[in-house]
Chains A and B, each alone.
Chain A
Amino acid sequence: MEFGPIFRALLNNRTRFWLIIVEVALTLAIVVNCTSIFLEKRRSFNSPTGMDVENILVINTEPFGEDFAVQDFVKDVGESDLARLRSRPSIINATPIHHIPLSGSGSSTGRKAAGSELDTVGISYFSVDEHGIETLGVELIDGRNFNQAEIGRRSDGGNEDMPRNVIVTKAFAERVFPDGNVVGSQISNGDDEYTATVIGVIDLMSNCWPRSSIGKHTMLQPSAAGDSREMNYLVRAEPGAIDTLYTELEELMISLETDRVVRVRTLSEIKLGYYSRTLMAMKIWAAVIVLMIIVTSLGIVGLTSFSVTQRTREIGTRRALGATRSAILRYFLIENWLITGIGLAIGTALTILLNYVLAEYAAAPKIDWILLVGGAAVLWAAGLLSALIPALRAITVTPEIATRSV
């Protein structure tokens, strides 16, 4: 092989090759880091929520009529709303709810195993009735659902004497009760002043802040419609029925009770809103990755073309001295292969350095080694392809060119 002459030639044309090397190295560092950030964002967006997000509608009602100052009236409206919603054939089930999952706003508190000396663990809670589990589409894996008797209204004051029962997610249960035996156990706030009994465990449910560290610590507590004037309902539609329902529900709710503002949204829409920044960032990172590879490839085409042009007479001479076309092609490809290789080696160090900087100052994720290897492979291939175009031009150089201008 011609490594010797190629290497010596490299040393004679240092500038040009250093340019490619630096470009390849920087590109590797940027592409690998961007891909790593991109993948992390995509993982966060695609992570399972445990809920039937695609088929859930969120209805928000804000009453303004004076009747709504009367507690019993609010309660009646709530009950009739839910009865009408549940009786609609395209609706699987409906529940009152205070906060909206995946929305970015809600309530959280701290809970621990009752009597435990450990610190409380953050958990976000939702108030639903006995239809909550089916409406959310979450899976109860242990214990039981709320029953109708447990659903009381906070504002009745009647709840004070009733046992406080809650359903929690597996993620929270495993943190607080590492030994198992969750159902029937008591949880409490930090001062042990407030305790509640866990009656059921659901497999998975994202709360209001799915991106946060406690994004899957969720608690359901029983509550009926009409606890407060402002009422939110979740509605789970039969598959395929959500679009029709989406357009019909506002009118239905207002026809049931005029003096209120009704807003209907899909849970998917709410999720997109919560993730809008993430999605935007994903697009930017993807664009940067693609642009980087294109720009670098064009750069390699440009620099190799230049080197072919400059060495036209050299090539002619070699051809005249008996080098075959494939030898010329091989020469340029090996040259490129070597340069890209050096660039990638330096690039690996740069990638780790850049990742360190980004992790330190901008909380970027640590890089997976697979990504680095993959990125290097892609760039190596892109480099060879880019060199191929000018190299194919080089082999068309005929021996007489070498002698023509002398």
Chain B
Amino acid sequence: MFAYQLRLAFKSLRRNPVLSALMVVAIGLGIAVSTASVTIYHIYSSNPIPHKSDVLFHVEIDNWHPDRPFDSDHPERAPFQLSYRDVRALMQSQIPTYQTAAFRTELMVFPDGDEQRPFREIVRMCFSDFFLMFDVPFQYGHGWDDAADHAPEPVIVINSRTNLRLFGGANSVGRSLKIQDRYFTIIGVLAEWRPTPKHYDPTVNAFGEPEAIYMPFNFTPVFEITNYGNTWSWMSEPIDSHEEYLQSEILWIQMWVQLDDETQKQAYQDFLDAYVLEQKKQGRLSRPLNNRLLDVMATLEEREVVPDSTKSQLVVSLLFLVVCAINLIGILLGKFLSRAPEIGVRRALGASRRSVFIQHLIECEVIGVLGGSLGLALSVMVLNAINRMLSNGEQLHLDLTMVGAGLLLSLVAGLIAGIYPSWRICHVAPAVHLKMQ
């Protein structure tokens, strides 16, 4: 029966190809625009590490001006970076399952051989736990260990793009690479890894590519480096050397801990509070006690990674789809009612209202699905165009969920548009139309 109705639907669509094309295009445009915006919204607001987003916590200490909150619009918030001296102290804790301080910087890389000129590359300074807590995938090798953290040992992890650029994609574990003034041994090569949004550091370019090179954090004082990104300071202090910079109240380092249950979280919170109270005795951290542990989604929300314009686009494009569906109602109504005499005959020959209704609804859904497929194809083009326009290396793609969402949207649009015209046509009185012929 379904196959028969499907055949009828296609037959009816072929009868007036221009009108059918118009309907398919109309719904297709609506689906294209709304799928593209739903995808963008979905990507911007997604959870990049769903299986552990509620056990990873961003550590914040309210180290700011005694009389002013860090964010005057949200006085309950604390600065979301820490000073080097606080990070040093907090990293002594034995409570978290994993913990890492980290920041983003740029260092000079000297490839072997004469073909390639030296270049600056983006580097993340972090602790060994970084790879474990964020489930960073490796193509070759692995991350470094605690001993390498402490020494620090000259080891690095590189991402797959850097491995391709320097070693043609071969297994480069064990090879050495000159960075700044010394040689580092490559201990691991990352597999393709692109958390979106970049949960571990959404402060700069939250949708960009992760760093190219990962280096033990304790090279910070060795190379006398600071971060490439945001640096905040509320007091002016004379700083003449890197050592003084590290001892200052300048906030530039992010810190994450993994706390697997409530007890562990409470223990860590107590540890933080005790540390800050201790520091208060020494005349530091004079704001009211406000130590915060934010899980991944709370962090992303506070950092407002979803741009406002994305939200407006979502609302507007769904309204656009509604208008396209209303359009479809109008056209379908005309098309179906002009077929009333034929339906009159079918009803007189015994077709039930139900089967007439379902037959027309199926025709509407066929239009919806055809339009949806066209719309999905168009939205891929739209997203590719957007990717080309964005200069920061963001990549927006349809995933399976979004293809499903697009098709679902088109079915819903077909249904909404189809119900009323189908209902009207199945209530056609057979006698009137029989008489007219």
Contacts and interface: CB of A to CB of B under 8 A. Distances in A.
B119 A288 contact: no
Contact of B319 (A26, A296, A303): A26
A298 B23 CA distance: 10
- Residue among A194, A261, A295, A363 with most chain B CB within 10 A: A295
Given A261-B120, A276-B390, A295 B333 contact: no
Given A64-B110, A194-B236, A292-B320, A26 B312 contact: no
Interface of A: 15-16, 19-20, 22-23, 26-27, 29-30, 33-34, 37, 62, 64, 66, 189-191, 193-194, 261, 272-273, 276-277, 279-281, 283-284, 287-288, 291-292, 295-296, 298-299, 302-303, 305-306, 309-310, 354, 357-358, 361-364, 405
Given A29-B319, A357-B315, 6 more contacts: A27-B323, A190-B65, A276-B391, A284-B313, A295-B323, A310-B337
A288 B37 CA distance: 11
A99 to B, nearest CB: 13
Given A62-B108, A358-B315, A295 B26 contact: yes
B330 A303 contact: yes
B22 interface: yes
8 contacts: A20-B330, A29-B319, A277-B307, A284-B313, A296-B327, A299-B331, A303-B331, A362-B312
A306 B421 CA distance: 13
Contacts of B29: 291, 295
Main secondary structure of the interface of A (DSSP, over half): helix
Contacts of A272: 391
Nearest to A270: B391
A306 to B, nearest CB: 3
A302 B330 contact: yes
Given A303-B330, A364-B312, A279 B317 contact: no
A298 B391 contact: no
Contact of B236 (A191, A280, A302): A191
B175 interface: no
Given A30-B319, A34-B316, A302 B436 contact: no
B322 interface: yes
A362 B315 CA distance: 10
Interface in B15-36: 22, 26, 29-30, 33
Interface residues of B, number: 46
Given A27-B323, A295-B29, A298-B22, A15 B236 contact: no
A214 to B, nearest CB: 14
Contact of B312 (A20, A66, A305, A358): A358
B330 A362 contact: no
B195 to A, nearest CB: 20
A405 B436 CA distance: 8
Nearest to B335: A306
Contact of B326 (A19, A64, A284, A354): A19
A302 B421 CA distance: 14
B334 interface: yes
Contacts of B390: 276-277, 280
B324 interface: yes
A23 B326 contact: yes
Interface in B283-325: 307-309, 311-313, 315-317, 319-320, 322-324
A293 to B, nearest CB: 11
Contact of A30 (B22, B309, B316): B316
Top 4 A-B residue pairs of the complex, sorted by shortest distance between their CB atoms: A306-B334, A299-B327, A362-B311, A362-B312
B230 to A, nearest CB: 9
Nearest to A363: B308
B22 A26 contact: no
B170 interface: no
Contact of A26 (B33, B323, B392): B323
Given A62-B120, A309-B338, A302 B327 contact: yes
Interface string B349-391: 0000000000000000000000000000000000000100111
Contacts of A276: 389-392
Nearest to B317: A288
Contacts of A277: 307, 309, 390
Contacts of A26: 319, 322-323, 326
B120 A299 contact: no
Interface in B403-424: 420, 424
A292 B65 CA distance: 51
Contacts of A358: 312, 315-316
B333 to A, nearest CB: 7
Given A291-B29, A291-B33, A37 B327 contact: no
